[in-house]
Amino acid sequence: MLTLQRDILYGGPPCQDFSGCNRHRKANSIKNSLLTTFLSYVDHYRPKYFLLENVRGLLHHRLGSTQKTKSTVTGGIEQGSVKFILRALTSLGYSAQFHMLQAAEHGAPQSRRRVFFWGAKMGLMLPLYPQPTHICKNLSTPTNTFTVGKTAPHPAVVIGDAISDLPPFDWRIKARGEDREFLAHRALTIPQIRPPENKKLPVGKFSQSYASQPTTNFQREVRRHVTGNRVENHFTCRWGPEKMLRILRIPMKAGANHLDIPAKYDMGAIFPGPMASKHNFYPNRYCRLDYEAQFQTCLTNVDPSGENGKVTQASHIWFQDTC
């Protein structure tokens, strides 16, 4: 996405080739060249300011790499993309700087690090980067070392702050005999929604009442312009019956995952093979989140069995975001 306003040009090229989640890197991917396209707009429009945002993997992206295997690359200029951006901006008559920010340190209920490049025409002052306002719960990923993830004017915003006012629901699905009693008991406390006949549609309701009035500052801010007490388009993703049943079986407690399902009921969830034991049977897959923790960055396609599978909430609600 690229946006031009009167005095500023800002945007971010696709992140797939820079992201650490990319397991199939291509040295000759056309997306690698879009940095050049973005910077060419600076040359064309000559804005007073230029802002480029992207994933932190951009800081380590090498220019001029070659394909090593089908899914890996080798060689290239260390931090080549960073050097290219800075040299292009300075050669065009801009002063430039970059910095990495952590969304959790600025009031988001999510650990999400992004790098920001500022460019300003010579004679104009480069904007200052914002100082942290909130604590980052994940002490391994704060970006401002002077906060050490512990000190900020406001406490951390956590998952419960974000979604505790959303109405919970379970899926009403067909189940084998041993699960019917279990699911019937759950139905006494959690409303049930039957998946639509069209298998391409998600599960949920287009419009329904919130579970409560806003109880946190985050919820009040999100609902500031909401008319009435209605949440719109409240859906979960939809998977095959086996995967949905597996999610329903996982205990309703923070950190519970597929390993908490008795193996006699769910052998398919204990990913077999030599790599599974090496990775402790993938504890973050089919994993229930903690209301007192923060979201990790989700991929565009949310999948509880995938690499970023820690997306299942105690009330079967998913928070979906792009990388």
pLDDT of residue 249: 86
Find the range with the poorest average confidence among 40-44, 102-106, 285-289, 315-319: 315-319
d(CA 166, CA 231): 8
What backbone phi and psi angles, to 5 degrees, belong to 100? Answer: -105, 135
What backbone phi and psi angles, to 5 degrees, belong to 87? Answer: -70, -35
Active site residues: 15
Count of beta carbons in the 10 Å neighbourhood of residue 157: 24
Q: Which of 26-40, 157-171, 252-266 has the highest mean pLDDT?
A: 157-171
Residue 22: which pLDDT band, with cuts at 50, 70 and 90? Answer: low
Q: Which residues contact 101 (CB under 8 A, 6 or more apart)?
A: 113, 114, 115, 116, 129, 130, 143
Instruction: Give long-range contacts, CB 8 A cutoff, 24+ apart: 86-93.
Output: 86/117, 88/39, 88/42, 89/39, 89/42, 89/50, 89/117, 89/119, 92/39, 92/42, 92/43, 93/121, 93/122
pLDDT of residue 322: 33
Mean pLDDT of all residues in 273-278: 78
Task: For helices 34-45 and 80-91, give the axis angle rounded to 10 degrees.
Answer: 10
pLDDT tens digits, residue range 288-314?
988 999 988 767 778 888 777 788 875
Does 319 have pLDDT greater than 50?
no
Domains of the chain, CATH where assigned: 2-121 (3.40.50.150), 159-278 (no CATH)
Find the range with the poorest average confidence among 72-81, 111-120, 313-322: 313-322
d(CA 302, CA 322): 9
Residue 139: which pLDDT band, with cuts at 50, 70 and 90? Answer: low
β-strand partners of 3: 10
Q: Which two tokens stand for residue 91?
A: 């050669």
pLDDT of residue 314: 59
Does 167 have pLDDT greater than 70?
yes
Are 134 and 152 in contact, with CB atoms under 8 Å apart?
yes
Residue 320: which pLDDT band, with cuts at 50, 70 and 90? Answer: very low
Among residues 32, 39, 52, the alpha carbon closest in space to that of 115 is found at 52
How wide is the angle at C-alpha 63 spanned by C-alphas 116 and 308, nearest 5°?
Answer: 60
Mean pLDDT of all residues in 52-70: 83
Residue carrying the six token digits 């002052």: 125
d(CA 300, CA 235): 15
Output the CA–CA distances (angstroms, integers) from residue 173 to 68, 157, 238, 241, in the order listed: 46, 34, 11, 7
pLDDT tens digits, residue range 100-124?
999 999 999 998 889 999 999 999 9
Mean pLDDT of all residues in 60-73: 78
d(CA 280, CA 200): 33
What share of the chain in percent tops pLDDT 90? 34
d(CA 272, CA 268): 8
Q: Which residues contact 244 (CB under 8 A, 6 or more apart)?
A: 171, 173, 238
